[in-house]
Amino acid sequence: MRKGIGQQENNPNSEYKIIAVDDESGIIDSLSVFLKRSGYNLTGITDPVEAIELIKKEHFDLMILDFIMTPFHGDQVVEEIRKFNKELYILLLTGHKDLAPPLETIRRLDIQGYCEKGDKFDQLLLLIESGIKSIAQMKEIRKINSELSDTYEKLEKAYLESIQTLRYTVEAKDSYTRGHSDRVSAYSVLIGQKLGLPESELRNLEIGGLFHDIGKIGVPDNILQKTEKLTNDEYSEIKNHPSIGAHILSSATIFQDIIPIVKHHHERYDGHGYPGQLKGEEIPYLARIASIADTFDAMTSKRSYRDSLPMDVVISEFEKCRGTQFDPKLTDTFLDILNNEYEKIQEIQDRY
């Protein structure tokens, strides 16, 4: 059976919805009268099964729950509710303190408090007031977090747009880079998906791939656009772009997780790469993935001094460089994609 009382205007307590569950209708009636005086918005129910279903459908801030009921005791009701609602503030009523559930059960079910039934509800009212204060604080914290999250998202969007502008500037300087970063990003995500990486790391691979060559903004145009073989000095200039890129991104905390990709995508598994000459497991994991994606796109892209390499040559090169230039396990994963899921590679190439 469900009973309800209306809100009292201009009373802050009426903002909070309370549900009381007790199989004794007299207790529900007494609670309704008592709490109405304090302006609370109360729904009273005598059937615990009905209460569980109602809480699934409607929002309540606080629940007052009798412990000894039929067909379920209060702890069993809470057990069911906690399967789908972790936030409901719960106060347990007991006929006698000796009948209360063990403390470990109260903690496990996250029951915020309990008190004995009596002729007066003064202790219960104090617990309700304390609970409402806690609920109000949590609402305020969620509101602040939401506002901070919104501000952070706007800041992140502004930073991303700024770096995108730099990326487009690089692409204007170096025609090869146009489409290259998009494909490296997509290939990296494809490898990450094959490895079963979580969404957060796939996101880092996506953004890291897009901006991995951002440091080329600091490389002279005549070197980027040169069609002949580079001199040693010119090649040294090119080799500075990972460090330049990492420096560009270092001023924004939102890019901290992708800086390792940008800085170390030219490291080699044997330690002969740059800029850090890192070796094996020293190389950040996502950078090792991006390195494979970057090299694959370089081999399969048409350049001014050569055509794209045939796929059998590409596969042969990856097999040959397994364990020297590339992480052997990641190489095996990528070779599996090339040999058995090549249509996914073609989809990326068609897209960009």
pLDDT in tens, 2-14: 555 544 456 667 7
Domain match, 127 and 203 both: no
CATH number at residue 197: 1.10.3210.10
Q: What is the pLDDT of residues 84-143, one digit of tens each?
A: 998 899 998 887 666 667 777 788 888 888 887 766 778 888 888 888 888 888 888 778
User: What pLDDT is attached to residue 294?
Assistant: 96
Domain match, 201 and 98 both: no
251 in a structural domain: yes
Q: Which residues pair with 93 in a beta bridge?
A: 66, 115
Domain match, 273 and 215 both: yes
69 in a structural domain: yes
Amino acid 175 reads S
Burial 79-107 (b: 16+ CB within 10 A, else e): ebbeeebeebbbbbbbeeeeebbeeeebe
User: What pLDDT is attached to residue 335?
Assistant: 96
Q: Is 216 a catalytic residue?
A: yes
Domain match, 206 and 340 both: yes
Domain match, 70 and 210 both: no
Domain match, 198 and 322 both: yes
148 in a structural domain: no
Domain match, 139 and 186 both: no
333 in a structural domain: yes
Tell me which residue of 318, 289, 326, 338 sits closest to 188, measured CA to CA: 289
166 in a structural domain: no
Domain match, 79 and 225 both: no
Strand order of the sheet with strand 62-66? 2-4, 41-45, 17-21, 62-66, 89-94, 113-116
Last residue within a domain, chosen from 143, 163, 196: 143
What is residue 65's DSSP assignment? E
169 in a structural domain: no
Domain match, 218 and 99 both: no
Paired tokens of 45: 């129910």
Number of domains in the chain: 2
User: Which residues 6+ apart lie within 8 Å of 188 measured at CB?
Assistant: 205, 206, 208, 209, 286, 289, 290, 293
Q: Please give the average pLDDT of every successive group of 10 residues along the chain, which has 352 residues.
A: 53 83 89 86 92 94 88 87 91 74 78 77 85 85 76 76 76 71 95 96 94 87 79 86 88 85 96 94 97 95 79 95 96 96 94 88
20 alpha carbon, distance to own chain's centre: 36
Domain match, 115 and 185 both: no
162 in a structural domain: no
Domain match, 93 and 241 both: no
Instruction: Name the pTM for this structure.
Output: 0.59
Report the alpha-carbon distance of residue 285 to residue 289 in Å, rounded.
7
Last residue within a domain, chosen from 121, 143, 165: 143
Catalytic residue selected from 17, 216, 302, 320? 216
User: What pLDDT is attached to residue 7?
Assistant: 47
149 in a structural domain: no
HSE of 249, CA atoms in CB hemisphere, 13 A: 31
Report the alpha-carbon distance of residue 331 to residue 182 in Å, rounded.
21
CATH number at residue 38: 3.40.50.2300
Tell me which residue of 199, 292, 203, 212 sits closest to 249, measured CA to CA: 212
Domain match, 265 and 130 both: no
Print the domain residue range for 267.
174-351
Paired tokens of 256: 């901290």
Report the alpha-carbon distance of residue 313 to residue 306 in Å, rounded.
14
